[in-house]
Amino acid sequence: MTPLDDQLFDAPTPVMVLVRPQMGENIGAAARAMLNFGCARMRVVAPRDGWPNPKATTMASGASPVLDRAGAFDDLPAAIGDCDYVFATTARGRGLTKPVLTPEHAMKQARAMVAQGKRVAVLFGPERAGLENHDVARANAIITVPVNPAFYSLNLAQCVLLVAYEFARLGADTPPEVLAMAGTDFATAIEREKLGDHFEDRLEHAGFFAPPEKAQNMRLNLRNMWARLALTRADVQTLHGMLRQLARKHGGQ
């Protein structure tokens, strides 16, 4: 990423609005969390220690371009005046009649809206007590993270990271699971078949298939096991080598 990568900063992502943030370090950490997941649009409302904030820049490190382009506002109405839909993050009940969503469901809605050209904002409150009721009242819906009810306080940057991650995850084509092959391939069917033959031969020699009436089913279970295991060619070669070594140690062929 280059500091002047306009494509990233103009990408259709939610605007992360930090309302009255107190510590510059948390603002910088929030910028890093945003950029980790491709969200670069930040707005800062009445930061306690003024703006720009040197501590935020230091903490942001490589994400300082997010801070450089962040909008600074004196109050929340000005910060969200051009937004079509606003989410407020809070862990506490507010006695307000609003939809309450998980981060995943909220960001699913956000993706649909930004795809239609809508501007979506997510509000994050100050570190000490979070958003005030008058802040939440200006939002269309609430995002609540399902955290431990005995300890529900989230750091500002952590909360930003959760929301940004969900937004990015819902638009990613990364498969949920991949297997790193480390320079080898899966064993072919014939390679697994020969391994099975080798094992059966050694097990037969050791008297494993007993009593005779159970031998056929035991062989079947072994074949099923080889097919079920995701063996690589390296695995097969290692197992052949182990069997050969065991045979040598015990006077076999």
Write the DSSP symbol of residue 188: P
What number of H helices and E strands is found in the chain? 11, 7
Indicate the pTM of the whole model: 0.75
Q: How far is 18 from 45, CA to CA, in rounded Å?
A: 6
Give the pLDDT of residue 96: 85
Give the pLDDT of residue 95: 78
CB atoms within 10 A of CB 81: 9
Q: Parallel, antiparallel, or unpaired: how do β-strands 71-73 and 141-143 relate?
A: unpaired
Give the pLDDT of residue 178: 66
Model confidence over 150-201: pLDDT tens digits?
Answer: 887 789 999 999 999 999 999 877 777 766 777 788 889 999 999 999 999 9
Measured in whole angstroms, the distance separating CA 189 from the mean position of its chain's CA atoms is 36
Helix (H) or strand (E) holding 146: none
Q: How far is 134 from 1, CA to CA, in rounded Å?
A: 38
Cα angle 31, 36, 40; round to 5? 50
Write the DSSP symbol of residue 187: P
Give the pLDDT of residue 76: 97
Between 189-205 and 233-249, two packed helices, what is the crossing angle to 10 degrees? 20
Give the pLDDT of residue 97: 87
Q: In this structure, which long-range contacts are made by residues 69-73, counting pairs with CB atoms below 8 Å and at least 24 apart in sequence? A: 69/9, 69/40, 69/41, 69/42, 70/31, 70/42, 70/43, 70/44, 71/42, 71/43, 71/44, 72/43, 72/44, 72/47, 73/43, 73/44, 73/45, 73/46
Using DSSP's 3-state secondary structure scheme, residue 51 falls into coil
Ranges of the chain with pLDDT below 50: 3-4
